[in-house]
């Protein structure tokens, strides 16, 4: 997508909508994250409006965050408990909190928001910098094939009498970039929601981890430690390499 600006993709309107929405996996995600944090502390990369961080903090875990969009952080600040979190506005590939954690996590496919392989590797390196000796980096993302019925497609996401939402996608296998536009058509007109992602298979993420001095410790097919089947999504946990 020409002229796509990742920094502008999560502006005020998206942030306001995000703060109102949930995905349905928050409870099970927080259960697993709280156990990995050992009741201590965690750092969320791309904390957004606190969908996961706020319920995790409510469990007694100190949750810090790094987030690119100040609009998302503004929304986080308005939510109960949101003003108490230490959040830095910055890029998760480079920004540092100067603290170490038993858990750093990056969820909701957000590793894909980094649009080059280099940036994704730098993200693993930055996570490794923030881990204490026994710390783990958890990544939750889709298995790319789950998102790619074809290299181009239009999916009817919502079809209602008064509006429709279409997901218009084009994937470039050479760059692994998926360009996507959520198009809402209603009586007020046409509303566009563009986003580009760089998809990466779990095996590529594992090699990125190795470059960052980490290794795969666990991989599940969901937050409840379901068996990983290579379909749908994966929850992957990386710890320090000892070999
Ligand atoms: C899909 S939202 C996920 C938010 C939150 N983690 C959640 O699970 O609800 C993606 C978030 O990643 C943030 N983001 C994208 N690129 C980033 C980067 N390079 N550094 C930090 N945050 C980034 C966006 O601003 C947005 O808030």
Pocket perturbation via mutation, ligand 1, pick of 21, 53, 68 by most ligand atoms within 8 A of CB: 68
Residue 243: pLDDT above 80? no
Region 14-22: what's the mean pLDDT? 88
Pocket perturbation via mutation, ligand 1, pick of 22, 27, 48, 63 by most ligand atoms within 8 A of CB: 48
- Residue 47, pLDDT score: 98
- Residue 152, pLDDT score: 95
Residue bearing the bigger pLDDT, 19 or 74: 74
Region 192-219: what's the mean pLDDT? 97
Residue 27: pLDDT above 80? yes
pTM for the complete prediction?
0.95
Residue closest by Cα to atom 10 of ligand 1: 110
| Residues 118-146 pLDDT 10s | 999 999 999 999 999 999 999 999 999 99
Residue 65: pLDDT above 90? yes
Percent pLDDT > 90 in the chain is 90
Residue closest by Cα to atom 2 of ligand 1: 48
CA of 162 to the centre of ligand 1 (A): 31
Report the atom number in ligand 1 closest to the C-alpha of 23: 9
Region 199-216: what's the mean pLDDT? 98
Q: Which domains does the chain have, with CATH numbers?
A: 6-144+200-240 (3.40.50.150), 149-197 (2.20.25.570)
Q: Burial level of 68, CB count in 10 A (0-12/13-18/19+)?
A: buried
Mean pLDDT of the chain: 96
**96 confidence band (pLDDT: 50, 70, 90):** very high
- Residue 9, pLDDT score: 85
**167 confidence band (pLDDT: 50, 70, 90):** very high
* Ligand 1 proximal residues by C-beta, below 6 Å: 6, 10, 46-48, 51-52, 66-69, 72, 91-93, 107-108, 110, 113-114
């Amino acid at each position: 997508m020409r002229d796509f600006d990742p920094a502008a993709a999560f502006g005020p309107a998206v942030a306001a909508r995000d703060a109102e929405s949930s995905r349905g996996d928050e409870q099970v995600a927080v259960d697993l994250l709280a156990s990995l944090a050992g009741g201590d502390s965690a750092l969320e990369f791309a904390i957004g409006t606190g969908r996961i961080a706020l319920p995790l903090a409510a469990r007694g875990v100190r949750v810090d965050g790094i987030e690119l969009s100040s609009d998302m952080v503004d929304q986080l600040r308005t939510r109960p408990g949101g003003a108490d979190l230490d959040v830095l506005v910055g890029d998760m590939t480079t920004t540092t909190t100067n603290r170490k954690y038993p858990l750093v996590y990056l969820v909701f496919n957000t590793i894909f928001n980094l649009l080059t392989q280099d940036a994704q590797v730098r993200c693993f390196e930055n996570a490794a910098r923030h881990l204490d000796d026994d710390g783990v980096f958890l990544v939750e993302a889709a298995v790319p094939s789950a998102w790619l019925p074809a290299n181009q497609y239009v999916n009817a996401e919502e079809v209602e009498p008064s509006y429709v939402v279409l997901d218009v996608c084009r994937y470039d296998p050479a760059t692994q970039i998926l360009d996507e536009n959520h198009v809402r058509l209603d009586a007020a007109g046409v509303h566009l929601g563009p986003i580009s992602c760089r998809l990466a298979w779990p095996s590529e993420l594992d090699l990125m981890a190795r470059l960052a001095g980490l290794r795969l410790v666990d991989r599940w097919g969901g937050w409840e430690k379901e068996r990983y089947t290579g379909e749908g999504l994966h929850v992957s946990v990386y710890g320090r390499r000892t070999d």
